[in-house]
């Protein structure tokens, strides 16, 4: 009886642990998707500025700064999400 109770508690703890890890993985994937989306948006904004002859150089610099600051992390997050089967 005692052994069965311990086994049941162990299974319950394992299930909670697996659920927590799965939720963390989903949160990381969401973060990766957000980073990809930011990079995608900054690319479109940069394209738009090029098409409008860069009339607002200050904004272009801000977009370039954003794209540069998210670049490596974005790629890393996308690679991780793809490895974990979340797309990206």
Q: Give how many domains the chain has, as a whole number.
A: 1
Give the other-Cβ count within 10 Å of 29's Cβ.
20
Q: What pTM does this model have?
A: 0.27
**75 lies in some domain:** yes
Digit-coded pLDDT (tens) for 24-68: 777 766 666 777 788 888 888 888 777 766 556 667 677 777 776
**88 lies in some domain:** no
Q: At what angle do helices 57-83 and 2-51 cross, to 10 degrees?
A: 150
**Residues of the domain holding 43:** 2-83
- Please give the Cα distance from 67 to 38 (Å, whole number): 8
**59 lies in some domain:** yes
């Amino acid at each position: 009886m005692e052994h069965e109770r311990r086994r049941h508690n162990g299974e319950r703890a394992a299930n909670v642990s697996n659920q927590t890890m799965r939720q963390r993985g989903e949160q990381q994937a969401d973060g990766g998707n957000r980073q990809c989306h930011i990079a995608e948006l900054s690319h479109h904004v940069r394209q738009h500025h090029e098409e409008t002859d860069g009339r607002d150089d200050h904004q272009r610099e801000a977009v370039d700064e954003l794209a540069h600051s998210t670049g490596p992390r974005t790629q890393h997050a996308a690679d991780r999400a793809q490895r974990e089967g979340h797309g990206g």
